[in-house]
Amino acid sequence: MDSSAAASHEQRTPVEIARRSRSSFLVSFGFTDPERRRGLVAVYAFCRVVDDAVDSPADVETRRSELALWEQELERACRGEAATEVGRALQQTMRRFGVERRHLRSVIDGVATDLDGPDFASMAELEAYCFKVASSVGLACLPVFGVGGADAERYALHLGQALQVTNILRDLRSDAEEGRVYMPRELLEELGVEPTWLRGGAADEVYSLHGPMAALTGVLSARAYAHFERAAACLDAEMQKKLLPAEVMGAVYRRLLVKLERLGGEVCRSPRVRVPGWRKMWIALSVRRRIRRLK
């Protein structure tokens, strides 16, 4: 692997990549045993480097080549011939837990959408994108958590949708500034929202409590909440215990969603919303206490 972004990750371990990301996901990984934690970090690190290849500052063709290198590394890992630290960790995780190639391949297909800029006509197209870049990650992780079956798969599907829609809502402005508009054209037209307004530079009334941007963010918030609720409905007590890290992750993102919902249309004119580290830990401990009480 000799391209810039791919090469930058070639000798880094999954743990190093995960730590550098400072992701909310990492708080949740501490609530499982060491072997499963290594597996989760391996899957996360692979998805991270794939996403980084697409988000690098290089030109489109260079980024496309970098993504192709990680696609090849996935195939090598499936054959037991991985060439990087991330690939070897993923290879071991796939063998140990039965993580399926198709879910990781789906992630690659999803992030490839960002190479030329997303252009979704409908909410169905947006949901298909969210499935690839988020729900597929959850589906890949299910065997690492030690769960399977239709309910677990529905949980991964809905939780992934909820997390990704929350991400899109949080990053409306920054994505628009980079030329990425994830909002479906039909929704923008229905609400009378101009794509340029997502950059936060329109008149004040556009972002007011009853303005068009508030209506748009309200639609996104409602969809995220609905997917969170559908995910929760899939789990019995035993599954919640096994999926404790995922439940922690979901709770952190729900807190993020509450903060975004309060901003309404002003989300496009406010600093990037975050959940502080101390709050993430408090949420994680609260979720663990709740699940431990389940019978």
pLDDT at 8 over 60: no
Question: From CA 248, how far away is CA 281, in angstroms rounded?
Answer: 9
Query: 206 and 233, same structural domain?
Result: yes
Of 154, 156, 128, 166, nearest to 261 by C-alpha is 166
- End-of-domain residue from the set 62, 97, 116: 116
- End-of-domain residue from the set 116, 140, 167: 116
Query: 155 and 90, same structural domain?
Result: no
According to DSSP, residue 246 is labeled H
Query: 39 and 140, same structural domain?
Result: no
**CB 42, CB 89: distance < 8 Å:** yes
Question: From CA 268, how far away is CA 264, in angstroms rounded?
Answer: 9
According to DSSP, residue 2 is labeled -
Per-residue pLDDT, averaged over 62-72, amounts to: 94
Q: Which of the four pLDDT bands, split at 50, 70 and 90, describes residue 14?
A: confident
Alpha carbon distances (Å) from 150 to 195, 201, 254: 38, 45, 24
pLDDT at 24 over 90: no
Query: 103 and 3, same structural domain?
Result: yes
pLDDT at 6 over 80: no
Query: 187 and 167, same structural domain?
Result: yes
Query: 111 and 186, same structural domain?
Result: no
- End-of-domain residue from the set 116, 134, 169: 116
Query: 231 and 218, same structural domain?
Result: yes
**CB 44, CB 14: distance < 8 Å:** yes
Query: 158 and 124, same structural domain?
Result: yes
pLDDT in tens, 236-253: 999 999 999 999 999 999
Of 32, 77, 107, 274, nearest to 174 by C-alpha is 274
Residue with tokens 């065997």: 143
pLDDT in tens, 107-159: 999 999 999 889 999 999 999 999 999 999 999 999 999 999 999 999 999 99
Question: From CA 240, how far away is CA 84, in angstroms rounded?
Answer: 34
Q: Which of the four pLDDT bands, split at 50, 70 and 90, describes residue 32?
A: confident
**CB 193, CB 259: distance < 8 Å:** no
CATH code for position 126: 1.10.600.10
Question: 2-11, 29-38, 61-70: which range is least confident on average?
Answer: 2-11
| pLDDT for the residue numbered 2 | 45
Query: 254 and 142, same structural domain?
Result: yes
Question: From CA 99, how far away is CA 101, in angstroms rounded?
Answer: 7
Query: 195 and 98, same structural domain?
Result: no
Residue ranges making up the domain that contains 127: 117-295
Query: 103 and 151, same structural domain?
Result: no
Per-residue pLDDT, averaged over 36-58, amounts to: 92
Query: 268 and 126, same structural domain?
Result: yes
Q: Which of the four pLDDT bands, split at 50, 70 and 90, describes residue 4?
A: very low
3-state secondary structure of 70: helix
| pLDDT for the residue numbered 1 | 46
**How many separate domains does the chain show?**
2
**CB 233, CB 213: distance < 8 Å:** no
